[in-house]
């Protein structure tokens, strides 16, 4: 990603970003949400605890921007039967922590790592499912905005037999 | 009406071109499937690579029966009922582990060799030796005698009497052969991790779906169709990403599926994708063909890789995809609840990129987070609810029916023929009732 790193982000700016991102998802502003990702960004939901390889280990999701776009455009499709009626989501975040020990975290390069524990509810028709986990954001400050290089979702029960998860945590 | 001890009533649920809704929604029929169908058939247990060393075990279920698959100290694989003969406790709880030389029950420390036989129990002097010897418990953990490993794949038949492994599978083992032969060393390993997810529908809906070639262009228009459309917006000359290669064939037209063919074996087994399939045109993986040619010679290597079978159904409840190295198990939990386990394999000696593709396929198509899976699940669950309707009694499987097909096997037919579904249901009626008292020997249909 080209562009000039902005002056260092304050912790509050990083925290505000994380809250705003969750709100975007709950308000189903998916196109805006997709714009938050860098062109080489990923959304990753590992299948096992402490997983460090998305390539040769199975994941629940490991999606680049193309796959995220497919997912988002599908949600709006006329023949997307599993979204008739639509699902809704609700994020409840614990106060995000700045992960200064994370290998990605290097403020002088515009790189920040932030982590937030969450409870996430996805609901459709009469069914409501609660998921709990941790979201880890690898952020990149560029042209005075923050972008997501990777959002990683670690579910506390990542290896359980799950039912469908159709939206984004 | 009760179906128990009533084989005629069960057989009447399967007509030549339609099947009764009770096989999907009736709790008693489900219970009888667990007691009979899943005992009379050879059911997949696990893969030998999950238990490479003596003492290694893997716990799973066969139908509704908890079992443990374990590598015995003579190198053979045993399948034991996971139940302490003393008080009934499930002896092994972890999915995977190593028992060492014996299993030990966590309740009263009775211990068992890895073939299930009773090794020791504390304070044994409290038992009259004759009384103990005559009790069921003296036999230890019950072993499933009829266990077979075929090129790494372990199957068992719970019922002590019944059809042999060879007669049950017939020519259908060729799909397992092809998947294993795709490794330059002729060896597979379970790899990557298993995706597990639950559907509120009957297990047979998933089995049916494996040879249902008239649904992808409808149910998966939203996912595969969107993938193709999004991809078309990419600048010209951009290499087609792996994900798009995996998605795109799903929305091939009816003609493609008609022409690829279905091969119908006996006993409920069959496969889609005979001359062509959705797995036929993935990018070559650098170095792979060379290693195959080196291992098998030019002609045989091309023959192995040219066999691009789509979905092979092994009745009753697994599906194997040789060209992409996945295996799905449809585990029945209740008449209206099914656990799907989607397993992936590494072709030993082949480049990592093949495993990467296998894992990508699995998470894009067969995961609780899969957009293809979401629409499949939607239709299964709507079917489960729709079948509660008493407005109509039957589910239709009449497409391309030919009365002369009954009793025939190992034939290739039109790729949209529901013959394979009918084959499954005829097998269902037979294996459901084969061990029931008073059942006529009804080999009339499917010999």
pLDDT tens, residue by residue, B293-343? 999 999 999 999 999 999 999 999 999 999 999 999 999 999 999 999 999
Residues of A in contact with B229 (CB under 8 A): 73
3-state secondary structure of B212: coil
Is the pLDDT confidence value at A5 over 70? no
Torsion of CA B31, B34, B39, B40, to 10 degrees: 70
Question: Could you give the percent of chain A with pLDDT greater than 90?
Answer: 93
Nearest chain B CA: its distance from A109 CA (Å): 30
Print burial letters for B309-333: b (CB count within 10 Å at least 16), e (below 16).
Answer: bbbbbbbbbbbbbbbbbbbbbbbbb
Residues of A in contact with B190 (CB under 8 A): none
Nearest to B368 among A66, A80, A164 (CB): A164
Q: How far is CA B23 from the centre of its chain?
A: 19
With cut-offs at 50, 70 and 90, classify the pLDDT of residue B440.
Answer: low
Chain A interface mutation, best of B60, B363, B381, highest count of A Cβ atoms under 10 Å: B363
Asked if residues B411 and B263 have their Cβ atoms less than 8 Å apart, the reply is yes
Mean pLDDT along residues B223-238:
92
Nearest chain A CA: its distance from B67 CA (Å): 19
Cβ contacts of residue A100 below 8 Å, gap of 6+? A113
Residue of chain A whose alpha carbon sits nearest to that of B221: A79
Task: Point out which residues pair with A114 in neighbouring strands.
Answer: A98, A137
Print burial letters for A79-90: b (CB count within 10 Å at least 16), e (below 16).
Answer: bbbbbeeebebe
Nearest chain B CA: its distance from A7 CA (Å): 34
Please tell me the predicted confidence (pLDDT) of residue B234: 87
Closest residue by Cα to residue A84 from A121, A42, A41, A125? A125
pLDDT in tens, B355-408: 999 999 999 999 999 999 999 999 999 999 999 999 999 999 999 999 999 999
Please tell me the predicted confidence (pLDDT) of residue B218: 94
Starting at the earlier edge strand, list the strands of the sheet with B146-150: B43-47, B153-157, B146-150
Phi/psi at B159 (nearest 5 deg)?
Answer: -75, 125
Please tell me the predicted confidence (pLDDT) of residue B439: 66
Asked if residues B318 and B286 have their Cβ atoms less than 8 Å apart, the reply is no
pLDDT in tens, B22-75: 999 999 999 999 999 999 999 999 999 999 999 999 999 999 999 999 999 999
- What is the pLDDT of chain A when averaged over all its residues? 95
Asked if residues B51 and B65 have their Cβ atoms less than 8 Å apart, the reply is no
Please give the angle made by the CA atoms of A8, A9 and A14, to the nearest 5 degrees: 155
Higher pLDDT residue, A143 or B294?
Answer: B294
Residues of A in contact with B222 (CB under 8 A): 74, 77, 79-82
Binding-face residues of B in 152-181 toward A, CB within 8 A: none
pLDDT in tens, A87-134: 999 999 999 999 999 999 999 999 999 999 999 999 999 999 999 999
pLDDT in tens, A20-75: 999 999 999 999 999 999 999 999 999 999 999 999 999 999 999 999 999 999 99
Task: Point out which residues pair with B306 in neighbouring strands.
Answer: none
ipTM score of the complex?
A: 0.95
pTM exceeds 0.90 for this model = yes
- Which residue in this structure is represented by tokens 């669950």? B381
Is the pLDDT confidence value at B238 over 50? yes
Contact yes or no for A57 and B193 at CB 8 A? yes
Please tell me the predicted confidence (pLDDT) of residue A4: 54
With cut-offs at 50, 70 and 90, classify the pLDDT of residue A6.
Answer: low
A69 touching B (Cβ < 8 Å):
yes
Please tell me the predicted confidence (pLDDT) of residue B1: 78
Contact yes or no for B230 and A66 at CB 8 A? yes
């Amino acid at each position: 990603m080209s562009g000039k790193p902005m002056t260092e982000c304050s912790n509050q700016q990083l925290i505000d970003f994380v809250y705003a991102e969750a709100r975007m998802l709950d308000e189903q502003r998916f196109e805006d949400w997709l714009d938050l990702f860098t062109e080489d960004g990923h959304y990753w939901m590992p299948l096992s605890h402490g997983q460090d390889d998305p390539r040769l280990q199975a994941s629940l999701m490991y999606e680049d921007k193309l796959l995220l776009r497919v997912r988002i455009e599908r949600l709006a499709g006329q023949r997307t039967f599993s979204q008739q009626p639509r699902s809704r989501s609700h994020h409840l975040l614990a106060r995000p922590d700045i992960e200064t020990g994370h290998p990605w975290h290097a403020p002088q390069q515009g790189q920040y790592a932030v982590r937030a524990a969450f409870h996430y509810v996805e609901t459709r028709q009469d069914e409501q499912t609660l998921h709990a986990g941790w979201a880890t954001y690898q952020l990149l400050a560029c042209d005075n905005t923050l972008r997501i290089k990777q959002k990683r979702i670690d579910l506390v029960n990542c290896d359980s037999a799950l039912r469908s998860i159709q939206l984004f945590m | 009406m009760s179906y128990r001890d009533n084989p005629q009533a069960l057989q009447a649920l399967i007509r030549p071109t339609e099947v009764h809704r009770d096989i999907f929604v009736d709790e008693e029929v489900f219970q009888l499937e667990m007691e009979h169908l899943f005992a009379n058939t050879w059911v997949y247990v696990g893969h030998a690579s999950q238990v490479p060393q003596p003492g290694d075990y893997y716990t799973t279920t066969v139908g509704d029966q908890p079992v443990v698959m374990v590598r015995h100290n003579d190198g053979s694989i045993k399948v034991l009922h996971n139940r302490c003969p003393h008080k009934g406790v499930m002896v092994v709880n972890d999915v995977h582990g190593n028992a060492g030389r014996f299993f030990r029950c966590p309740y009263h420390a009775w211990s068992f060799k890895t073939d299930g036989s009773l090794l020791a129990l504390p304070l044994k002097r409290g038992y009259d030796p004759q009384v103990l010897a005559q009790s069921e418990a003296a036999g230890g953990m019950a072993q499933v005698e009829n266990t077979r490993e075929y090129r790494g794949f372990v199957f068992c038949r719970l019922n002590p009497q019944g059809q042999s492994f060879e007669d049950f599978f017939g020519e259908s083992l060729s799909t397992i052969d092809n998947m294993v032969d795709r490794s330059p060393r002729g060896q597979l390993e379970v790899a990557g991790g298993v995706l597990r997810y639950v559907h509120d529908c009957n297990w047979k809906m998933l089995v049916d779906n494996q040879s249902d070639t008239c649904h992808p262009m409808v149910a998966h228009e939203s996912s595969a169709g969107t993938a193709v459309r999004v991809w078309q917006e990419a600048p010209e000359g951009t290499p087609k990403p792996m994900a798009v290669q995996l998605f795109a064939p799903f929305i091939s037209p009816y003609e493609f599926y008609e022409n690829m063919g279905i091969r119908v074996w006996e006993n409920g087994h069959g496969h889609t994708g005979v001359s062509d399939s959705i797995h036929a045109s993935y990018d070559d993986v650098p170095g792979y063909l060379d290693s195959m040619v080196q291992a098998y010679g030019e002609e045989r290597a091309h023959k192995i890789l040219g066999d691009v079978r789509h979905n092979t159904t092994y009745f009753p409840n697994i599906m194997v995809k040789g060209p992409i190295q996945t295996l799905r198990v449809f585990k029945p939990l209740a008449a209206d609840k099914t656990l799907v386990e989607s397993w992936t394999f590494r072709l030993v000696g082949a480049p990592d990129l093949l495993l990467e593709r296998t894992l990508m396929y699995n998470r894009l198509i067969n995961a609780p987070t899969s957009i293809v899976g979401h629409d499949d699940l939607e239709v299964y669950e709507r079917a489960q609810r729709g079948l509660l309707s008493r407005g109509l009694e039957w589910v239709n499987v009449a497409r391309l029916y030919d009365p002369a097909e009954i009793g025939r096997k190992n034939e290739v037919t039109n790729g949209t023929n529901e013959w394979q579904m009918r084959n499954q249901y005829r097998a269902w009626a037979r294996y459901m009732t084969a061990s029931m008292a008073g059942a006529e020997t009804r080999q009339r249909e499917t010999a």
